[in-house]
Every structure is written in structure tokens, then in C-alpha cells.
Chain A
């Protein structure tokens, strides 16, 4: 079945392109092409979240289809959904600063007591509800495979915030588990000899004290 809409858009873009040298940035959606050939659209503002796409837009070579090598259409749609959701509140400077020097880089269960002194400037930690959306986004993934695909494609497209989210989700599956439990959760083969495993446990003895 021919997709007439796509053809119409291409024609329109070509017309706008031909219309004049100025305004080459037509503001139309980007067309990401999955491994199977299906196109996934991404608005320009959402595409800012991908350093790779951002650079392409700046360089003026984001017209036409952009193949995303190794990405299946399902993962690409998820990536697009994430970027569209986060784009309105995206602050590249704040994001880069947070990712460069996160503390703590993993969740710590601190609930301050009622008498604890808090800074006057403490802001609402999730003003736009994005954290809640992200949690649902991750929990809606069907399996670990989908999560790994997401991380790999986000890494390929240099979407740092999504890589951070994905890696944190995998970390959440490991935290607090024994090595055996991690192997089961992530389907990993134990190719240690008993002597090697004992040596590693000795080396990291403090981590195994309960």
C-alpha cells in the first residue's frame, strides 16, 4: 500500500525547498528510518534532545530520511515518544551539568526527620511530572530486551537523558541483589570457576557483609 501522505509531505518539502535559498530550515518533522525501512517522524524541537540530530539540523543535512542503523521501528517509536514528551522542558545546559556531576548517581533512601533543617531554596523535585511519566515509560517496556534496545539506540542517537534513564532502569534491576539473583534477573551465565568466584568475593568482602 503506497503511503500517499508521505509522498505529499515530500513534495511539499521539496516545493518549500525550491521556493528560496532563505528559510531552508522549513520546520518540518524529521523522518527517521528504521532498519526495516519504516519512517518514524520526530518534530524538530524533540530532535534537539539528540546531539546527533541536533548537529545534523545545524549542519543543514537533516532533510530527507535519516537512517538509524540497527534500530527496529518499535524502539524508534519509543525514543520518539520520549523526546516529544521531554522536549518542551528540555534545558541542555542543566541536563549536561547534572549528568557531568550527579550526586548521588544512584538513589539513596533518605527521609529527613520532621525536625531536619532544610534549605530555604528547596524546589519541587518533579515540577512537570516528567519523573512519573518516565517511571511508567520504563515499566511499560515488555522485557529486558526492549530496555537494552532502547539504551543502545538512545546511545547511538546521543540522547544523554534517555541513556541515563535506561541505565538507571537496568541498575534498579541489580541493586540490592546477590550475584546469583542478578544472574537470574538478567539471564547471565556464570562462567567463573569456584576458585575465581571465591577470590572476587574475598577481594570485595565488605560488600558481602550483611
Chain B
């Protein structure tokens, strides 16, 4: 073996050609690729390069609604990634009923299936459900429950639209009217199924206040032990998890979601949609 110098040369990473440094930074992830820009000017150039952000962007975006593409295309892929991963302003898909954004930490594709996109039993019967205008996440209508016995909400998404090898959680996003019935003491059956075969079912409650049940056990009523309770989101709406699923290679057909409960009369629920996003890391 030939002799090597006793003191290693400084800044060895400078020996890597720019394209390999960019390939390395692409493999750190969006957050780290942004942090790396603060290491040195050379790193900044490599970290901001299109080569890095092209690999963090999805190769294919689903067809967008007319007018969604910005009039002046964004100059860099990094800017495009930042724009698409801004959760406050998702893009509207061609069906005008689904909005999409990227999870900024992972680059995974996220979706909001608006209430109109979902199959809500009796949703078109005005005495049971009313459609109210809103303006949130590119969604223009939410479904307000006036009263119904038969609560059945279904949604689906083609697994091809999801990022591969990702564990996703699906949430029903809703709010509660001041006056409501049949939501507190009852649980709904929420399920997720993949390709019509594998299926998982959980029990969820759509009402709040059960956090006081530790001191007042009677407030829980007869809700099963494993009932999931909702939490308040940053945007003021509520969400409860409908289920969790792994996306595999994207050739598993439709991912289906459902929420059902038909035992009591209910009212005072406002459904925004079903949100699909990567599972929180480290959970």
C-alpha cells in the first residue's frame, strides 16, 4: 500500500464534483437540504441546485384545474417545491373537488377530498344535509348535517396518486355546531381499506369534552375503551383519524375510507372533507 499523508486534507468534500454533492444533498431531505445552504457558499450553490429539488419533487403531478399553473413559471425547482409544500395554499386538481399539496418535511403528496367529492348518504336531500359556502383549502362547499339517522360517508383515492412507500393517515375534517345531537355518547365506525381487500376498522367519536372523563367517568358513557377522540387543528376545524395505511408501490387500486353510524338521530355536524397526509413521524 502506498503511504498516505499523516494529516488528512481539509475540506475533503470539496473533491466531490458539484453533481455528486447535489446528489448527496438530495438524499438528506428537504429540511436538511435547506439547512445545508447555511454551511458555506459552496454548499449553498449545491443545495439550491435544481438537481436537488427535482428529486424531492414528485415526478408526476396529477392534472391540475385550469388556471392553476402560475402565469410565470417559478424560476427554480426549489421555489416550486416551496410553493407546492405551502399547506396554506394547496393546488386544485382538475376535478375541482380535490386539493393537493406536498408535505414539506418529506415531499409526500397530500390531499383534501372535499365533502362534494365524498359519497355522503342522503347528501343531496335538502331536509337532511345542507351545502354551505366556504373558502378554505380551495374548497368552496362544506356539508352541514341538519338531521339524519343514517350517517354514511365514503371516500376513495387511487393509490397511484399517493407517494410510494409512505405510511399515510386519513382524517375526517369537520366542525361542530353549537346545537348538536347524537354525537357525544355514540361512536362511529371508521374504516380504511386497500384495493378492496385489506381493511381496518376503528371506533371514533366526533364530539369533544371527553377529556374531562378522567375526573367524571360517567361522561364517557358506554364508549369503547379504544375509541379515538378528535382534536382541534391549527385552522380551527376538528379532525379525527379514520385509519392508517401503507402505500406500497402504488398499484394497490383504490384506497377507500368510510365513516358510519346509524343507531341514533344526529345533527349539528359540518363536514369539510377527508384529509390524507403522511403519518406524523416518530409516532
List the interface of chain A (C-beta within 8 A of B). 36, 72-74, 101-106, 108-113, 115-122, 143-145, 148, 151-152, 155, 163, 167-168, 170-171, 174-179, 182-183, 186-192, 196-197, 200-201, 203-204, 206-208
Contact = CB atoms under 8 A, between A and B. Distances in A.
B247 to A, nearest CB: 8
Contacts of A120: 194-195, 197-198, 252
A93 B101 CA distance: 31
Interface stretch (B14-22, B174-182, B231-239, B260-268): B14-22
A201 B38 contact: yes
Contacts of A115: 200, 202, 243-244
Interface of B: 1-2, 8-13, 15-17, 20, 23-32, 34-41, 43-44, 55-56, 58-59, 104, 106-108, 163-167, 192-195, 197-200, 202, 243-249, 251-252, 278-279, 281-282
A115 B190 CA distance: 12
Contact of B28 (A101, A145, A174, A204): A174
A160 to B, nearest CB: 10
A119 B249 contact: yes
A148 B43 contact: no
Contact of B246 (A73, A101, A112, A197): A112
Given A108-B166, A115-B202, A148-B12, A190 B40 contact: yes
Contacts of B199: 117
Contact of B55 (A105, A155, A174, A179): A105
Contact of A117 (B1, B8, B44, B193): B193
Contacts of A176: 32
A209 B243 CA distance: 29
Contacts of B200: 115-117
A207 B39 CA distance: 13
A169 B11 CA distance: 17
A121 B24 contact: no
A182 B46 CA distance: 15
Contacts of B198: 117-120
Contact of B244 (A112, A178, A197): A112
Contact of A190 (B39, B55, B59): B39
A111 B278 CA distance: 11
A110 B281 contact: yes
A183 to B, nearest CB: 6
Contacts of B193: 117
Nearest to A106: B29
Closest 7 CB pairs of A and B: A207-B34, A119-B248, A171-B27, A110-B167, A204-B34, A116-B244, A179-B38
Given A110-B278, A110-B279, 20 more contacts: A104-B108, A115-B202, A117-B200, A117-B244, A117-B246, A118-B194, A120-B195, A120-B197, A120-B198, A120-B252, A121-B249, A121-B251, A144-B8, A145-B12, A167-B23, A171-B24, A174-B25, A175-B29, A187-B10, A207-B32
Given A73-B1, A208-B35, A191 B27 contact: no
B282 to A, nearest CB: 6
A182 B108 contact: no
A106 to B, nearest CB: 4
